[in-house]
Every structure is written in C-alpha cells, then in structure tokens.
Structure 1
Amino acid sequence: MRQMKSSEIRQLFLKFWETKGHKVEPSASLVPVNDPTLLWINSGVATLKKYFDGTVVPENPRITNAQKSIRTNDIENVGVTARHHTLFEMLGNFSIGDYFKEEAIPWAWEFLTGEEWLAFDPELLYVTYYPEDEETKKIWIEKVGLAEDHVVPVEDNFWDIGAGPCGPDTEIFYDRGVEYQDLPDSDPEMYPGGENERYLEIWNLVFSEFNHKPDGSYEPLPHKNVDTGMGLERVVSIIQDAPTNFETDLFMPIIRKIEELSNGVHYGMDAKVDTSFKVIADHIRAVSFAIGDRALPSNEGRGYILRRLIRRSVMHGQKLGINRLFLFELVPVVAEIMEEYYPEVKRDQEFIVKVITNEEQRFQETIHDGLEILQEVFDKISSKNETVIKGEDAFKLYDTYGFPLELTEEYAEEKGFTVDRDGFNEAMQNQRNRARAARQVADSFSVQSAVLSEVIVPSEFVGYYQTSIQSELLVVISEDELKEQVMSEQTAQLIFRQTPFYAEMGGQVADTGLIKNMDGETVAVVVDVKRAPNGQNLHIVEIKTEISTNNVYILEVDEARRRNITKNHTATHLLHQALRDVLGSHATQAGSLVTPNHLRFDFTHFGQVTAEELIEMEKTVNQKIWEAIQVETVETTIDKAKEMGAMALFGEKYGNEVRVVTIGDYSIELCGGVHVQNSQDIGVFKILSESGIGAGTRRIEAVTGQAAYEWFHTKEKELQEAAYLVKAQQTKDIVKRIEALKQELKEVQSENESLNAKLMQVESQNIFDDVQEVNGIRFITYQTKNQDMNTLRQLADQWRQKNVSDIFVAASELDGKVSLLASVSKEKVAVGIKAGDLIKAIAPLVGGGGGGRPDMAQAGGKNPAGIPDALKQVSNWLNEK
C-alpha cells in the first residue's frame, strides 16, 4: 500500500470508475434541490434518487461521484469517537439498470487491491453479506477468491428504508490489527461488522433488486441497480496510517492552526483537550461548506444546525483558552485543503468569513445571558438544598444558548453540583422526535414505474418559436398501461413526435391548451405537461372524444397565457441581476416560480432588504425594460457557457448541451425556459412584496404587463375611495388632507386631556380622603373608568405631592382592558415594601401581569370584572407582609 494524499485518493477513485465507463457527476450542493424530504444531502445516492426511482433516465447508466455530505443526528459523538463527523465525503459508483453483482463486486476488489490503485493487502480485507443472498457469497468466494472465513453473514445486511427500491448489501472491512482491538476475542462484537475498533468498514455495496410496495410486499424491480459508498475519511486514515480520521491531511492543518490560536495548548497532550480540537476541526469544515452552499444560521431547520455547530465550536475554543472571535480564521485553511476538488470554498471565502464572524459576534452577546441563566439555576437549587441540576434545565441551556452538556457539568462541578444526564438525554430525544415528525422520512424514494421508464420514443420540443403545430401521437398511457386509444371522459398521458407545449421545469409552469383533430374539433384539453423519465414532454390531458396513436393531431398552446409566462420569466432574469447589483453577489437565486399571473423569486440574503433597496431594484428592472434590449438565446456546451459568464441556478445540475439566455450585456443565465424577444415586451414591472421565508432566504413577489396594470388600477381605485372618505378634492390632495386631519385630531386629544386633567383634579379631592390602614401602613385604593395609564400616573404624581398615605393603588377599565398602577412611598420602599411585588400579587386577579420600579409599578389585564377583588387583595397582601 503506497502513501497518498487525500486529494490523490479521491481522484484515483473517480479515475478508476471512468475506466469502467462511468460518468463523473460533480458534487451537488449540500442544500437539497427540489427534495423536501431531506434537510441536508446526506449520502452519495441522495442526489441521484431521480435515477433510482425511475423518474429520470440518465444519459449514461454508469455514474460515479465524490459527494460532500452532512449528517447531524449524532453531533454529540463528534470528536469523542474516531470516525464520527458532521461533514464527510462519500465516494460512490452507481449502476442504473446496467451492471449488477457479477461486475460490481470484482471491480470493488480490483480498486482496493490492484497494484495501480490502492494496493491493500487482500489478507486484511473481510466482507459481510445478507445470509439469504447466496449469490453474493458465491461471487466473493469463487470469482474474487476470498477465503470463506473472510466472508461473514450478517442479518442486518439488507438495505430497506420503506417504499421504493431496496435489496441486500455487502460491506467491506479492513483489519487494522490487534493494536486497535478494544474488545477480547470472546466478545460477541469482536468480528467484522460488530461494534469494535479493529475491523473498520470502508465500503458498502447495495444491490437494489426489489420494490418495497406501500402495502409492505416486495416485488422484483423492473431494472436492478447498484448503489455503493466508500467513506473517504476512513480510507485516508488507513492509507496514511492515522489512529483516527482526525490525524489525516483532511484535518491536521486545521488542528495545527487551532494550536496557533490557542496560545500554548497542543493537540495530543490530553484526550479531553483533544476532543475540543477535533470538534472545532470537524465543525468548521461543515459550516464552511454549508454556508458556501447558501445555508445560513438561524433558529430553525438547517440554519439551526449551523448555529449549533458554530456555538459548540466557540465553547470548545474557550476550553482551549481562545476567548475571542477565531473561527473565521480557520476558513482559509479549509479552503486550502479542499481547493483541488471543491474550489467553491475559496471562491466564496469572503462571504463565508462574513457570515461566521457575524454569528460569532452574536453568540458572544448571548453567552453572557446563558451564564446568567445558569447562575439562576444554581441559586434555585441551592435555596432548595438540592445538588442535582434538572436535565430539562441543562437542555434549555444547550438548546437556547448553545451550552454543550459537558460545559454545564464543568460549571456545576465547580459549585459542587451534578447534572441529571438521563433527564437531559430524554429532553434531547423528545426534540429529535419533534423534528422527525415535522418533516417527511429522509432518504425516501418513489416506487418505480416500469411503463414510463421503458418509453424511449424520441419527442422534440419545438415551442420556443411555435405555439401551434401538427404532430403524430406516438404514445398513450392510461391507468399506468400503454394503450392504442382512449375514450372520452378519461385522463391520459400523451407523447407526440413534436410538441409546442412546454413541460414544467426550472420554476416555469407548464403550458396548457388544446389538442384537435384535423377537422379542428377539440379531442383533448392539456391541463399539465411534465418531463417523462427519458426526457420527453408528457402531456397530461382530459380526453373529450376518442384519441388514438399513429394519428396526426393539431397541438395548440394557449397563446395569451404563454405570453404572460414569457414576460414574467424574462423579468425574473432582470430581477436576479438587479438583486446582485443592489445587495451584492451573494444574493443568488434559491428558487423561483413563473406563472401567467405573477412571478416569485427566492434568493439568499442574511439581512433585511430595505424599502430603498426594493425601490432601486424595481427602478433598475423597469429601466432595462424601457431600454428595449434584445433577448437572445444561444445553444452551446456547459463549458462554453461558463466561459461566457452565464449564471446557473445554484445547486442545479446541467447536461453538456445548455441554452444561454442573454438580455443585452446586462444579464446572462443558463435557462431552458421561454422568453420574450425584446425586454420592452414585458411592459412594466412591479414588486408586490418582499419577505423572509426561512433561514437566510427571502422572497420577492412581482407582476408584469397586464397584471401590473390591474394592480395599479386597483390602487388608483383605493386612492379615489380614500380621497372621498377624507373629503379631498383630488387624489393628489390626500396627503395634505390627512395631515390636516391629524392636526385636528391632535388638538381635540389635547383638549380632551386638559378637560380630563381638570376633572381628575376635582375628583381627586375626594380620592385621597379615603385612607385605609393595615398594621400601621396607610393605603388608598381607587377604581375609575375610561382612563388610560397616563391618567393613572398623573394621579400618582398628585398623591405623592399630597403625602396622605404610604401606598396608592389605582385601577381603570378602558375598552374592555384594565390598567393597574401601584405607587409606594420612599420610606416604605426602604423597609422592603416594593410596588413591583405588590403589582405582581394583584395583577393576576384582572387576568394580567406586570412589574416596575420599587416605588412605582404598573400592569395590564383582560378581566375588568376582577378589579374589585384586585383592590381588596391589597390589604391581604399588606397583612402577609
């Protein structure tokens, strides 16, 4: 086995599979595209699900990739064990209905043991297989030549995650030797596949040969698949003879940089200290890649995961004596390590550093709050003469303030306390259960349909420049069966030799329209168009009269609807560039919806968009519309398109041949949608709303053309109605009229307040005469109506000037709500009677709560009927005091 860098091993893997006819798929974004079942891309196969469930047929059925992945269900073990990571790389080779076990197993063996490849010692390799899969066992022994005692049956070797493709798998283990053996030979886990450190799993080959049906039954797949995964970090640790994954060239440069920042603390001196180095090194990789893929810290979803990782890293940095912002200094190290295969981290380094720095600063502000909460917990259990911190309190610190459990335990130990770990784990599990219930099952697949995946007839989309053509009907599918004809009142799926109907794709909705016979009679209504697995446009139709294959029909797209779609689609391209011009290059597309009635554009941005910025974007888009810029489309290769500077939808994958849409020299994007021929065709552009829709993702909704005109017309009517209501002569006078009305209202309110004050002054002559006394403390209570809190405060000022009692409590009902005020003299405050304590005691009786200073406090409530009881409670409270 020869020594190699991690980058060499990765490239060697991909090169090997290219020699076996595989196409290299680039690593996809960690943020799933069009897959709501996943929080993160968590495996090499996750981005290829569309091929495995048959919804798309790949150009080449043999695929290989090196896929960055994130798994966060076991964060607490990162840094503690040798192999747990949040971000990791999965190297894989995949066969979509092509080769199967007979080829996959010997090829895997060839790569692992071949002299020009990894050259592992065959004697150190073991495999496991599903006991009922005798075919796999036979291949390992007879074709590969593996000794039978190196082939171990394991009942768990069956990959099945519910409905969809499933099947047996075989795993490959590397024997690291007795020096890594952490269990005695007699231990039941001491075997390849058991929970031990000696036998390290490096590769898993899954053979999808069954469809797991929704009813729980299994049937053979129409096309058998191979899905494999080899963990890069594990293989590197073997080749570089590293005790754990962390001592490899994937992590050690980061760890060395952390040593520099920690001022004298070194890796390898103490196992507990090493854990902090490992946690930080692991987390900064995951955070850098995730932010580069436009996931941003927040309080929910994947943003919450990022926030946790950053805060855990900061806490572990403090354990190493790093008490300042430091994580951002590690990003260039990550970029340097991964640049050869993942240049995007270095490319987006400035953006990643900015986001991490902002989050570190934010955490520095909240960490003090967490320590205060922890001190409150200490005080609470001390007052009860207890010594154990409840698990739920420890979890609140962890969940809200990012305090790792071990940090809480350290602070607790200093004070002589312990933490209820079982209670903490229970709270943690409850949260995981809630998170699991809040989203669909991860890794889900669809059940394969043989009919569509086997339809390979060619069909050409000609709708870029035509909306009505004659075309031969090639395929009719109804009730998941191929038919030669279908009758009226049925729903069917149709494929034509050519079609002008656009299939829903890239955020643009599908065309609708009619299918007519050669006599001009409507035979079907097109209600939707989807992409079939082999790329044809699949028309979903409602049949009006009989329709048959091999006949020619007239296909007519709804032209008015199409025109509105093209206006909105081209407007999204102008908006995208305007966004980047105004907000910065980090503001990239995160999804879109183009319909006939409006457009929706989602984009990444980690701050608020101001009203001024929205006005500037809208003005820019309209300016480009009025400049009457020619919109041109060029078909070219993906490489040529990138040379041209074309923007791609972030995280999306493209084939070798692409369409580049240019709007003069202002906008250039990869896009397969339909567009106007000149920007002036859009007419006018109007932003309707801008809002946040998730972690670091915002949404703009807008209209163009006729929809924009109708919006302006509606607003004009509203202005006319407003002018009528405020008695303005013209709509242009509305603002002046509103200002005048505001001034009139202000004068009336001032007059009312003056009259109120005079009235209260007269009334107060009697208020302060009714003084009660409890245990030598004099107090006055007063109930009134239709007075606000400001009036009650004025009464309190008068009470203080008259100095007629020690305590004054007043309550008023106004519009069904209660205002409650308590005031205490300085002398009584000095002996421990506080207005805040009093208000907290009586406010619940009016259905509210409040607080304030020791000498004055106030509260609001929703139960006016409780006012008399609240005022009576004052004497009871004083008796208790």
Structure 2
Amino acid sequence: MKQLTSAEVRQLWLDFWQTKGHSVEPSASLIPVQDPSLLWINSGVATLKKYFDGSVVPENPRITNSQKSIRTNDIENVGVTARHHTLFEMLGNFSIGDYFKAEVIPWAWEFLTDEKWLGLEPSKLYMTYYPEDTETVELWKKTTGLSDDHYVPVEDNFWDLGAGPCGPDTEIFYDRGEKYQDLPDEDPEMYPGGENERYLEIWNIVFSQFNHLPNGEYVPLKHKNIDTGMGLERMVSVIQDTPTNFETDLFMPIIEAVQALGTKAKYGDSKLTDVSFKVIADHVRAVTFAIGDRALPSNEGRGYILRRLIRRAIMHGRRLGIKGNFLAQLVPVVADIMEAYYPEVKADQSFIQDVIVTEENRFNETINEGEAIIEEVISSLKSAHEKLMPGEQAFKLYDTYGFPLELTQEYLEHAGIEVELDGFEKSMQEQRDRARAARKSSTGMAVQSDILGEIDVDSAYVGYDQLEVETRINTILAEDAFVSLAQAGSEVYVVADQTPFYAEMGGQIADTGEIVDENGQLIGKVVNVVRAPGGQHLHEVVLEAPLVLDQTVVLKVDRRRHHSIEKNHTATHLLHQALKDVLGDHANQAGSLVTENHLRFDFSHFGQVTPDELVEMEAKVNQAIADAFPVVTTVTTIDQAKAAGAQALFGEKYGNEVRMVDVNHWSIELCGGTHVANTAEIGVFKITSESGIGAGVRRIEAVTSLAAIQEYQQQEAILKELAEGLKVKKFFNLVSRFAQFREEHKETVQQLGALRDKMNAQAAGQIFDHVEEAGDLTIIAQNVPNRSMDDLRKIADEWKQKASSDVLVLATSADEKANLLIAVSPKAIEAGVKAGDLIKQVAPKIGGGGGGRPDMAQAGGKNPAGIADALAFAKEIIAK
C-alpha cells in the first residue's frame, strides 16, 4: 500500500475524478444557504440538492468534491469510539442524470486498486449490495474477478429517506487484518458490514433510480443519479494503518500540541485521558472551521452547538490538568494541517482565536456563577436532608448557565450528593424534541421538476446595457404545460430570446414592467422574474391581450423602479466596505435584500455596534457618494478578480467568468446584479435601523435617494412636534431644554421616592404590630393596597432586620392585578417552612403562580379578590 498524507489522499480523489470529466465543486460553507431543514452542512451531497431536485441544471452533470461537514447528533460518542467526529470531510463523486452503475463501479475499482491512485491490495476489498440488485453484484464480479466470498448481500443496502429519490447502494469494505479482530472467528458480527473493527467501510455508492411516492409505491426516475461518499478521516486511517482515526496526521499534531500545554498525561497512557485528548482534538477542528464560516457562539441554534463544543473541550482540558485558557492556542495547529485545501483557515486565524478567547473568558465567568448557584443548591439540599439533586435542576444549570453535568457531579460529589440522572436525560430529550420541532422537516431531496427542467431554449440577459428590447417569445408555460397560445386574463410564464428584465438573484429583487406588441399596445404586465433550472429568465406575466408562441414583442422594464433598485444595490457595496473599515475584516456579508424602497444588509459580528460606529459608517458611505466615484463593471476570470482583491458575496456560486464591480478601488466585489454608473446617482444614504438577528449576525437597514429624503422629512416633523411640546422655537435649543426637563423629572422622581419610602416605613410600623401565632411559629400576614412589588421587598428587608416574626406574608393589588411576597426566617426554614414551596400553594388563590428561594419568594396573579383567602390559607399551612 502506498504511504500517503491526508492532503495527498484528498488531492488524488479530486484529480482522479477530473480525469473522468468531473468538475470540482469547492467545499461550501458549513452554514447552509437557503436550506432551513439543516442546522449544518452534514454531507457531501447536502450542498448539491439544487442539482438533484432539478431546481438548477449544473454546467457539468459530473461533479466531485471534498466537503467539510458537521454532525452533532451523537456528540457523546466523540472520543469514545474509533471514528465518531463532529467535523469530518466527505469525498464525493456525483452524476446528475449522466453515468450510472456500469461506469461508476469500474471507476471505483480503478481508484482504489490502481498504483497510480490509492493502490490498495484487491484481495483486501469486499463489497456489500442490496440482495435484489443483481446488476450491481454482477458488475462487481466482472470488474474485480474476485471470488464469491468478496460480495455480501445486505438487506439494509437501500438508501431511502421517505418520499423522494431513493435506490439501492453498494458499500466497499477494507480488511484490516487479524490484528484488529479482538473476538474469535465465531463472532457473528465478523463479516463485511458487521459491527467489528476488522472490516472497515470506506466507501458508499448510492444508485438513485426510484421515486418513493407518498403512497409507498416506487417508480423509476426519469434521470438516474449517482451519489457517493468516502470519509477522508476513515480512508486515511486505512492508508496510514492506525488503530483509530485519531492517530492519523489529521489529529495527532493537535493531540501532541495538547500534551505540550502543561498536562502530565500522555496520549496512550490510559483510555480515560485518551478520551479527553480526542475530544479536544475533534472539537477544536469543528470550532475552528465553524467560526471561520462565521458561526458564532450563542444560546440558540448552531451558536448553541458551537458554545457546547467549546465548553466541552475546555472541561476535558480541565480533566487533563490544563490551567487557564488554551483552546485558541490550538487553532494555528489546525490551520497548518488543513492549509493545503483550506487556506482561508490560516487567513482567518486571528479572528477565530479572538472569538474562542472571548468564549473561554465567558465560560470562566459562567463557572464562577455556576459554583455560587451550586453552593446554594447544596446548602438547600443539606438543610432538607436530601442526597439527590433533581435532574431538572441539574439540566437548568447545564442549559441556562452552560454548566456541564460532569462539573455539577464533581462539585456535588464532595458534598455526598448525586444527580438524579433519569430526570436530567428526560429534560435533555425534551430539549432535543423542541429543537427538532423548531426546524422545518425535510425528508430528502425533492423529485426532479420535469416541466421547468424541460425548458431547452436560449435566452440572453441584456439588462446591463438595455432596458427595452425587441425580441421573440420562445416559450409559454400555462398551468404546468407548454402552450402555443395564451388568452387575455391568464397568468403565464414566458421565456424570450433576449430580455432586459433582471431575475431575482443574489438578494436583488426582480425587475417589473411590460410586454407590448410592435405597435406599442400592451400585451401583459411582468410582475416577477425568476431563473429556470437551465438559467433562462422566466417572466411571470399577467396577460391583458392574447400572446402567441414565436410572436415578436417589445420587453420594457420599469425604468424608475429599476434605477431605484440600482441605487440601493450599489449602496450595499459601499456599506459592506464601510463596515469592514469601521468594525474589521471579519464583518462579512451574511445575506442581503435590495428593493426599490430600501436595502437590508446582514453581516457577521460578535459584538455590539455602537451609535458612534453607525455614524462613522454612514459618513463613509455618504462621502463616497459625494466624491462621485465611477462604478466600473468588468467581466473577467475568477482568478484575476481575486488577484484584484475582489470579495465574493455570501451564498453566491461563481463560474470561471465573473462580473467584478469596482468603486474607485475602495469597494471591489464579485456581483451579478445591476448598479449605477456613478456613486453620485445614489444621492444620499441613511441608516434607519441596526439590530442583532441571530448568533453573531447583525442587520442594518437603510434607504437612499428620495426615500432617504423622506426619512429626514419624517424626522424633521418629529423634531417640530417635540419643539412645540417643549415650547422652544429652534431645534438646536431642544437639547438644552430636554436636559432641563430631565433634571426636573429626576427631582420629582426623587421626591416621590422619598414620600413612598416614608409611606412604606409607616405601613411597616403598623404591619409589624399584627403578629399572630401559627402552630409553633409566628406570622405576619397583611394586605397592603396599592403597592409595587419593590415596595413589598423593602418592607420585607425592614422585617428581616427587626426579626418581627418567623414568617411574613404580604399582599397588594393594583390595576386588577395581585402580588404576593413571602419571607421566611432561618428558624422557620429549619422547621421545614420554605418560601418557594409555600408560595406555590398559596398563589393559586389569586389566580397565578410564582416561586423563589427558601428564604424569599414572590408571585403574581389576576384575581385581587382572592387576597383574603390567600392570606388565610398561608396561616393555615404554617399552623399545620
């Protein structure tokens, strides 16, 4: 067997399939684009759905890739088993309705066994197949010439996710030899496809040839497809002959770097510490790539997963005895390992490290907060003579404060307390169920869109230079059928030889306008334009007159609307560069919307954007507009554009030939949209809002030109109204008048606060005279009308200082709402009275609920009439 590095294996794969006419699809971002069914890109085929479902026709039906992927559904197995990873690379080759079994099986054999490629020993390879798929096993026999024992029928070899494309598959296994066979020959799982370490699956080839209908029927697909997957980490472990994936050159440099961080443990010393080394190595790879793709830690969605990975790695570092922050130090090691195919990781290294250090510091603060909470829990459990922490409580520490279960158990162990694990697992499962329900379900790829996929005509977009063009109608679609005549009043989809209408794409909305005949008479209104699978511009038209196939017409774009869209689109480019200038190069586009009325720009940023920063960005954009910079659009190659410093936009797929939009060499982006010829045409730029919309993603909305002037006019009207209300004649006097008004208001609030404190003190003096006996304890239970909850707390603070009774129960009502507060002395707690438990029993009397600590709790409700019953019930409970 050839000795190869992981980088060489990856490159051999791509080189091989290029010799078979495949185009290399670059590894896409781990963050799915326009696919709400996925939290992460989780396979090589996930980014190619658009080709398999027919919504886009690829330039080349033969595709190969090495796709970075993340799966976190079984994170607990990472480091424990030999081959579980969160981040992995899937090598794939795909045929979109082109070649099939007869081609792919000999090619697979060639790649695996030919000395020019991997050069594996043929006798060590075994193939599984679906029992009814006799064609596949016969092809394998013909191709390999191996004995019959090398082909194993397996009933599970059928790839089916429910409704949609499906088909049989064949898996290729490598025999690693007897040294990986721990169990005797009688082991029933010791065969290719069984649960064992000797026969290792290295490749799966799916023959997508049926459509699984909702009624359970399987019908042949019109276009048969090939979808394959070879895990790079697993293949490298075979070639480098390592016990697990973690001893390969993809992981060992990270593990060695962890050993150098001050831990006394050495990899290989024990299974327990080995798990920690593996978890850290695995998680830092996933975290590095995810942050590089602008996923940022948060408390929801993929940000929550990312935060969990970081914290899990930190916890395993603590187990190895590593002190202080360490995870960010491993990022350069990951960057060096992956640089051959992922140079962007090294380029983003500093940003990735900054995010991880910020998260490490935050987790250290969380640990301190969690320790304080656990100490309180321990105290409460001890006072109640409990030896078991409820699982729900441990889960809250984990879910709300990010406190790992293992750390909670470690703290409780010293106090002789255990965690009720069934309750913890139940809460964890409920959270998983909620997460699944929150995401849109997907049962796989849709069936090919036959009618749109059959549009096979030429259609050129000329809208960069013309907004009106005479052309021929070459396709009419009405009610999912091709027609030669459409009547007035119908809604149809139309394709023409040429079109000036921009199709919705890259965040820019479509043009609208009219179709007229050669005499200028209106035929129909174009209300939207989208791209057909073959790339043609598909016009959605409401007909005012009949339309005939092959008819000569004039397509006219709404010029005013088109120019408004252009102004906003060019403004997004200026804003993007201003963001980078002000916030840093990490502020990359994460989505956009360009309409005729406004623009919306989403960008990655893991901090707040200050008002001063917004002012600076707005000023930079307006300066570029005032400078009247020419906007130069050049058609060039992707390599030349990158060499010129052009930025690629989020979610866009670029061919070898691209459009580069250059604004005075300050803003240079790859963009297929339409733009003004000079920034002066934009007129003025005004930011209307800035907000956070998700984990590490923020949004700016803005307007330009006349819309910006209208925004200023609205603000001026508000200023006029304020000036009249504050009785000032000039706007610039508003600030001083408002400052004066604020001081007056502050004084009034202070006076009211002093009066309220005096009233509370008087009320407290009267309340504390009403001490009653309740069993062995004393209680004060009083209704104090028209007080806030803050007032009740202040009275409780004074009660605590004076120790007027063992239990205090206060009630108040205002605006048809009721509030309760219960405070309990240490003596009463020792006697078994807990404020939190007591208020849960009493609160229903006021139509509400509440909770709190053993010494103090509060509740709210919507039934003030129940206050008297609540106070009486509290006395009754205490007496018992």
Structure 2 length-normalised TM: 0.91
1:283 aligns with 283
- How far off is 1:433 after superposition? 2.4
| Amino acid across the alignment from 2:195 | E
- How far off is 1:863 after superposition? 5.0
Query: Closer, same or farther in 2 for the Cα pair 1:800/1:697, shift >3 Å?
Result: closer
2:269 aligns with 269
1:348-363 alignment, distance < 5 Å: 348-363=348-363
The answer as to whether partners of 2:383 and 2:830 remain within 8 angstroms in 1 is no
Task: Give SS of 1:325's match.
Answer: coil
Cα distance in 2 between the residues matched to 1:678 and 1:632: 8
Per-residue CA shift, 1:530-568, capped at 9, x if unaligned?
A: 111121111122233221221111101111111111111
User: Are 1:589 and 2:607 counterparts?
Assistant: no
- My pick for the range that moved more, 370-379 or 129-138, is 370-379
2:604 aligns with 604
- How far off is 1:635 after superposition? 0.5
Query: Closer, same or farther in 2 for the Cα pair 1:161/1:332, shift >3 Å?
Result: same
- How far off is 1:233 after superposition? 0.8
The answer as to whether partners of 2:508 and 2:673 remain within 8 angstroms in 1 is yes
The answer as to whether partners of 1:283 and 1:309 remain within 8 angstroms in 2 is yes
1:623-638 alignment, distance < 5 Å: 623-638=623-638
2:125 aligns with 125
1:615-630 alignment, distance < 5 Å: 615-630=615-630
Task: Give SS of 2:473's match.
Answer: strand
- How far off is 1:791 after superposition? 7.5
The answer as to whether partners of 2:94 and 2:227 remain within 8 angstroms in 1 is yes
1:157 aligns with 157
2:697 aligns with 697
The answer as to whether partners of 1:818 and 1:864 remain within 8 angstroms in 2 is yes
1:835-874 alignment, distance < 5 Å: 844=843, 864-868=864-868
The answer as to whether partners of 1:516 and 1:523 remain within 8 angstroms in 2 is yes
Query: Closer, same or farther in 2 for the Cα pair 1:379/1:176, shift >3 Å?
Result: farther
1:23-62 alignment, distance < 5 Å: 23-62=23-62
- How far off is 1:431 after superposition? 2.7
The answer as to whether partners of 1:850 and 1:860 remain within 8 angstroms in 2 is no
Per-residue CA shift, 1:86-122, capped at 9, x if unaligned?
A: 1111111111222111110000100100011111111
1:727-738 alignment, distance < 5 Å: 727-729=727-729, 731-738=731-738
User: Where does the alignment leave 5 or more consecutive residues of structure 2 unmatched?
Assistant: none
Task: Give SS of 2:66's match.
Answer: strand
Cα distance in 2 between the residues matched to 1:14 and 1:765: 81
- How far off is 1:521 after superposition? 2.0
- How far off is 1:481 after superposition? 2.4
- My pick for the range that moved more, 717-726 or 433-442, is 717-726
User: Are 1:80 and 2:80 counterparts?
Assistant: yes
1:208 aligns with 208
Task: Give SS of 1:661's match.
Answer: strand
1:645 aligns with 645
Task: Give SS of 2:318's match.
Answer: helix
Per-residue CA shift, 1:303-358, capped at 9, x if unaligned?
A: 11111111111111111111311111111111111111111111100011111111
- How far off is 1:867 after superposition? 4.7
Task: Give SS of 1:37's match.
Answer: coil
Cα distance in 1 between the residues matched to 2:429 and 2:788: 48
2:492 aligns with 492
The answer as to whether partners of 2:836 and 2:854 remain within 8 angstroms in 1 is no
Cα distance in 2 between the residues matched to 1:452 and 1:613: 47
Per-residue CA shift, 1:146-166, capped at 9, x if unaligned?
A: 322211111111112233322
The answer as to whether partners of 1:848 and 1:862 remain within 8 angstroms in 2 is no
Cα distance in 1 between the residues matched to 2:356 and 2:570: 35
1:680 aligns with 680
Query: Closer, same or farther in 2 for the Cα pair 1:729/1:812, shift >3 Å?
Result: farther
1:695-734 alignment, distance < 5 Å: 695-729=695-729, 731-734=731-734
The answer as to whether partners of 1:255 and 1:267 remain within 8 angstroms in 2 is yes
User: Are 1:548 and 2:551 counterparts?
Assistant: no
The answer as to whether partners of 2:335 and 2:346 remain within 8 angstroms in 1 is yes
1:377-776 alignment, distance < 5 Å: 391-402=391-402, 423-442=423-442, 444-650=444-650, 652-729=652-729, 731-742=731-742, 767=766, 774=773
Query: Closer, same or farther in 2 for the Cα pair 1:659/1:760, shift >3 Å?
Result: closer
2:295 aligns with 295
Task: Give SS of 1:250's match.
Answer: coil
- How far off is 1:195 after superposition? 1.8
Cα distance in 2 between the residues matched to 1:453 and 1:332: 46
- My pick for the range that moved more, 84-93 or 30-39, is 30-39
| Amino acid across the alignment from 2:163 | A
Cα distance in 1 between the residues matched to 2:261 and 2:293: 27
- My pick for the range that moved more, 385-394 or 318-327, is 385-394
Per-residue CA shift, 1:781-831, capped at 9, x if unaligned?
A: 76555566788899899999999999998765454556778999xxx9899
Cα distance in 2 between the residues matched to 1:229 and 1:582: 43
The answer as to whether partners of 2:806 and 2:827 remain within 8 angstroms in 1 is no
- How far off is 1:723 after superposition? 3.6
- How far off is 1:80 after superposition? 0.7
Cα distance in 2 between the residues matched to 1:6 and 1:793: 65
User: Where does the alignment leave 5 or more consecutive residues of structure 1 unmatched?
Assistant: none
User: Are 1:102 and 2:109 counterparts?
Assistant: no
The answer as to whether partners of 2:173 and 2:199 remain within 8 angstroms in 1 is yes
- How far off is 1:585 after superposition? 0.6
The answer as to whether partners of 1:213 and 1:447 remain within 8 angstroms in 2 is no
2:233 aligns with 233
The answer as to whether partners of 1:838 and 1:874 remain within 8 angstroms in 2 is no
Task: Give SS of 1:482's match.
Answer: coil
Query: Closer, same or farther in 2 for the Cα pair 1:451/1:424, shift >3 Å?
Result: same
- How far off is 1:746 after superposition? 5.5
- How far off is 1:526 after superposition? 1.4
1:18 aligns with 18
Query: Closer, same or farther in 2 for the Cα pair 1:182/1:456, shift >3 Å?
Result: farther
Query: Closer, same or farther in 2 for the Cα pair 1:606/1:750, shift >3 Å?
Result: closer
Per-residue CA shift, 1:452-478, capped at 9, x if unaligned?
A: 223332211000121111111111222
| Amino acid across the alignment from 2:563 | R
Cα distance in 2 between the residues matched to 1:170 and 1:764: 82
Query: Closer, same or farther in 2 for the Cα pair 1:123/1:616, shift >3 Å?
Result: same
The answer as to whether partners of 1:768 and 1:799 remain within 8 angstroms in 2 is no
Task: Give SS of 1:261's match.
Answer: coil
| Amino acid across the alignment from 1:218 | Y
Cα distance in 2 between the residues matched to 1:766 and 1:422: 50
Structure 1 length-normalised TM: 0.91
The answer as to whether partners of 2:109 and 2:143 remain within 8 angstroms in 1 is no
| Amino acid across the alignment from 1:447 | V
Query: Closer, same or farther in 2 for the Cα pair 1:116/1:783, shift >3 Å?
Result: closer
Query: Closer, same or farther in 2 for the Cα pair 1:18/1:381, shift >3 Å?
Result: same
Cα distance in 1 between the residues matched to 2:805 and 2:601: 65
The answer as to whether partners of 1:779 and 1:807 remain within 8 angstroms in 2 is yes
Cα distance in 1 between the residues matched to 2:497 and 2:695: 44
User: Are 1:198 and 2:198 counterparts?
Assistant: yes
Cα distance in 2 between the residues matched to 1:188 and 1:201: 17
Task: Give SS of 1:328's match.
Answer: helix
Cα distance in 1 between the residues matched to 2:198 and 2:617: 60
Cα distance in 1 between the residues matched to 2:828 and 2:400: 38
- How far off is 1:710 after superposition? 2.0
| Amino acid across the alignment from 2:78 | V
Task: Give SS of 1:483's match.
Answer: coil
1:305 aligns with 305
Per-residue CA shift, 1:201-243, capped at 9, x if unaligned?
A: 1001111222334554333222221111111111111111101
- How far off is 1:72 after superposition? 0.9
- My pick for the range that moved more, 751-760 or 641-650, is 751-760
The answer as to whether partners of 1:170 and 1:205 remain within 8 angstroms in 2 is yes
